[in-house]
Amino acid sequence: MAVSPEALNRQFEYITEVKRLLQDRFGDVPPKAFTHTYGCQGNVADGERIDGLLEQMGYEFTNDPSEADFILFNTCAVREHAEERVYGNVGRLKKFKETNPNLVIALCGCMVQQEHVAKRLKSHFPYVDLVFGTHVQYKVPELLWNVLSTGERVFDITEDDNDIAEGLEVRRNHPFKAFLPISYGCNNFCTFCVVPHVRGRERSRKYQDIMRDARQLVADGYKEIMLLGQNVNSYGNDFGENELFPKLLRDINDIPGDFLIRFMTSHPKDCSHALLDAMAECEKVENHLHLPVQSGNSEVLHRMNRHYDREKYLETVAYAREKMPDLSITSDIIVGFPGETHEQFLDTISLIQEVGYSALYTFIYSPRVGTPGAKMPDPVSATEKQQWFEELQFAQEQVASKQSATTKGKTFRVLVESRNKAGRLCGRNSGNTMIEFDGPDELIGTYQDVLVTEPLTWILKGELA
Ligand code: SAH
Ligand code: SF4
């Protein structure tokens, strides 16, 4: 599963080579990199590792693509809309190539791991120099060396599940919140989802590697650690361990220090009592569970290959609430899965009312190449699906405003994150709800108690307690 030390060393040698080549080419003014990540937190974590490699090769970073010598889009494939945005944004890069002939344009991530996408980039976007898939990310130094030293285009979407590269330096985007991947890939093959096709089978990182990283993050002063996996609950199954994730939570919780733990994503089919007990007992684990249900109808769930039904999901929610009465639960919903009827969709509406989610991420179904869903008959029109989608959003607005009304007069401990557009400080409470309030900049990066004075649907307004 892990990349061999020899293979990693080879990349370290390429880092030195690229650095030398860039120094020859750019002299005393270091080359600039513009990198942008689309999609989920897992992708952001990948992007931070790639940035770490670029930094070691001598790149400085810029937020302005027009002054960059290296542009990288780290792409997402989960819905068509995400892919269309990437094609549009890549198209806009052509003009930069005309003014800067040294510019290297690169794409990586889930979208380009798909063969039809790599082919289209090769034939329709001749100014794209480098394309690399999700399995070869740690080889960026070698791939970039090949582009820079030959001037040829390089495309590498090799699939290889022995791709866990430990010990790489990460360039983190956030000063006090950190992503910590615990596993890569997915074994679940939900029939709508492209992830297992572009990320490969589930590979868990070694327990001691995760613990080492967690201790280091705490020592470095990080205030929030988010553990990442497509299904954190099956962490360790690939090396024959069951229920290892609750133990991991407990062990990270036991690291001395003032920090919080979040995790994403927890698949309902594996969300065990052991996990919920661990959540309830670990004081550093936040009071928030993201438990994507996708649909409230058992027949639809069966055709989605989710391996749970409405009843099983509701039982899990009931147990979670019994253990953690104030638990905030959020979810993902897909509207208009092929063959879904309006009646079945109404089961989703009733489910969200029954559960009382504090927030929902809602998506209209998007057919993905190579998935079983894309071949299922899909008679409902896009206009109808849009109407259902709006019905769902309306229903959730009602649920969320009812939920938020209950917070009036309550005090929450908030990790202060930044100043928002309204010029107020803001941060999330343990349930992951955003709260804004007035205060000085020095509070950013600290925990503060905030009293809710005016709960709105999507944000709570408050004051320092
Ligand atoms: N591993 C996570 C989900 C990762 S994808 C889990 O199992 O919960 C994030 C969300 O995108 C999914 O929960 C789903 O709601 C949505 N999604 C995935 N594929 C989609 C598709 N083809 N069309 C619309 N939404 C999709
Ligand atoms: Fe996709 Fe399902 Fe795996 Fe989540 S569990 S990544 S939705 S296949």
CATH number for the domain harbouring residue 427: 2.40.50.140
Of 127, 156, 185, the residue that ends a domain is 156
Strands (E), 76-190: 104-109, 130-132, 154-156, 177-181, 183-184
Note down the domain range covering 442: 411-464
Specify whether 191 is located in the same domain as 304.
Answer: yes
Q: Is residue 162 part of a domain?
A: no
Per-residue pLDDT reduced to its tens digit, 407-461: 999 999 999 999 999 999 999 999 999 999 999 999 999 999 999 999 999 999 9
pLDDT above 90 for 162? no
Number of domains in the chain: 3
Same domain, 133 and 231: no
221-232: pLDDT as tens digits: 999 999 999 999
Q: Which of 247, 227, 244 is nearest to 235 (CA)?
A: 244
For residue 265, report the distance from its CA to the centre of ligand 2, in Å: 9
The SS3 of residue 92 is coil
Residue 241 in any domain: the answer is yes
Question: Is the pLDDT reported for residue 339 higher than 90?
Answer: yes
The pTM of the whole model exceeds 0.75 = yes
Q: Assess whether 354 and 214 both reside in one domain.
A: yes
Are 217 and 121 members of one domain? no
Query: What is the average pLDDT across 255-266?
Result: 97
**362, part of any domain:** yes
Whether residue 324 lies inside any domain: the answer is yes
Q: 221: CA distance to ligand 1 center in Å?
A: 33
Same domain membership, residue 427 and residue 307: no
Same domain? 222 vs 280: yes
Band (pLDDT 50/70/90 cuts) for residue 158 is very high
Question: Does the Cβ of 183 fall within 6 Å of ligand 1?
Answer: no
Distance CA 436, CA 356 (A): 23
Mean pLDDT on 374-403: 97
283-302 pLDDT per residue, tens: 999 999 999 999 999 999 99
Q: Which of 193, 264, 352 to mutate to test the pocket of ligand 1 (most atoms within 8 A of CB)?
A: 193
The CATH number given to whatever domain includes residue 334 is 3.80.30.20
Whether 267 is in the pocket of ligand 1, judged by its Cβ within 6 Å, is yes
d(CA 136, CA 53): 13
- Last residue of some domain: 102, 123, 156? 156
* Rounded average pLDDT over 180-206: 97
CATH number of the domain where residue 128 is located: 3.40.50.12160
Cis peptide leading into 265, omega within 30 of 0? yes
* Same domain as 324, residue 428: no
- Find out whether 71 and 210 touch, Cβ atoms under 8 Å: no
- The share of the chain scoring above pLDDT 70, in percent, equals 100
360 with 231, same domain? yes
Q: Whose CA is nearest to atom 1 of ligand 2?
A: 193
Distance 181 CA to ligand 2 centre (A): 16
pLDDT at 1 over 90: no
- 350 — pLDDT class (breaks 50, 70, 90): very high
**Mean pLDDT to the nearest integer, 323-332:** 97
Q: Ligand 1: which residue has its CA nearest to atom 7?
A: 267
Q: Are residues 35 and 67 in the same domain?
A: yes
> What kind and span of H or E run contains 203?
strand 203-204
- From the alpha carbon of 364, which atom of ligand 1 is closest? 24
**Mean pLDDT of all residues in 318-341:** 98
My answer on whether 250 and 357 are in the same domain is: yes
Same domain, 275 and 239: yes
Q: Is residue 380 part of a domain?
A: yes
User: Domain for residue 90, yes or no?
Assistant: yes
Q: Are residues 337 and 301 in the same domain?
A: yes
Report residue 247 as tokens.
Answer: 């133990």
In a domain, 168, yes or no: no
Final residue of a domain: which of 125, 156, 187?
156
332 Cα to the center of ligand 1, angstroms: 7
288: helix, strand or coil: strand
Tell whether 419 is covered by a domain.
yes
pLDDT at residue number 48: 98
